[in-house]
């Protein structure tokens, strides 16, 4: 009888311990900052909108995009640092399709190969390894 009670107690303890497992996240893991900031989340109604004049293009152009941000201020801060480090001209525009301020190199490239070459050059910097080519029509 004592063996049966001990066995039942042992099984109950094992079940209790195995069902109470959880994944603990340390404070250090949650506060890590990535040196390259690309996206953030802000409610849509807090984003400042500005008018963008669109120029009609008759041919396809290409650019290198470095990042996209929910606020003009974050895009401005990123661009100031990137201009100093990369020594290239950039523009910030509001992409209404995704409701983000995008940071792209200027002037535009007439061929994708030129844009890819520039992208590869920029990706040599660790903080801009996520740069990509965007096709503009």
Condensed to tens digits (0 to 9), the pLDDT of residues 40-67 reads 655 555 555 555 555 555 689 999 999 9
Q: Which position has the token pair 């109604």?
A: 45
Q: How far apart (Å, rounded) are the C-alpha atoms in residues 70 and 48?
A: 9
Indicate if the pLDDT at residue 34 is higher than 50: no
Q: pTM, whole model, 2 decimals?
A: 0.58
* 34-41 mean pLDDT: 56
Whole-number pLDDT of residue 137: 84
Annotated domain spans of the chain:
63-136
CA distances from 82 to 33, 51, 61, 127 (A): 18, 24, 22, 9
Indicate if the pLDDT at residue 28 is higher than 80: no
Structural tokens at position 110? 């007439």
Q: How far apart (Å, rounded) are the C-alpha atoms in residues 122 and 137?
A: 23
Indicate if the pLDDT at residue 134 is higher than 90: yes
Whole-number pLDDT of residue 19: 60
Is 90 within 8 Å of 83 (Cβ atoms)? yes
Pick the CATH number of 63-136 from 3.30.70, 3.90.320, 3.40.1350, 2.60.120: 3.30.70
Is 104 within 8 Å of 65 (Cβ atoms)? yes
- Work out the pLDDT band at 12, boundaries 50, 70, 90: low
More confident residue, 35 or 97: 97
User: Phi/psi zone of residue 50: left (φ > 0), alpha (ψ -120 to 50 degrees), beta?
Assistant: beta
């Amino acid at each position: 009888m004592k063996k049966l009670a001990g066995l039942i107690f042992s099984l109950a303890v094992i079940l209790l311990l195995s069902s109470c497992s959880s994944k603990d996240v340390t404070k250090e893991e949650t506060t890590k900052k990535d040196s390259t900031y690309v996206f953030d989340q802000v409610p849509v109604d807090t984003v400042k909108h500005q008018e963008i004049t669109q120029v009609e293009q008759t041919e396809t152009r290409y650019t290198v995009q470095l990042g996209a941000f929910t606020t003009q201020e974050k895009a401005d801060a990123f661009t100031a640092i990137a201009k100093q480090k990369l020594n290239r001209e950039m523009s910030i525009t509001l992409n209404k399709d995704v409701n983000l301020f995008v940071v792209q190199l200027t002037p535009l490239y007439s061929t994708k190969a030129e844009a890819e070459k520039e992208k590869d050059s920029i990706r040599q910097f660790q903080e801009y390894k996520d740069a990509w080519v965007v096709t503009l029509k």
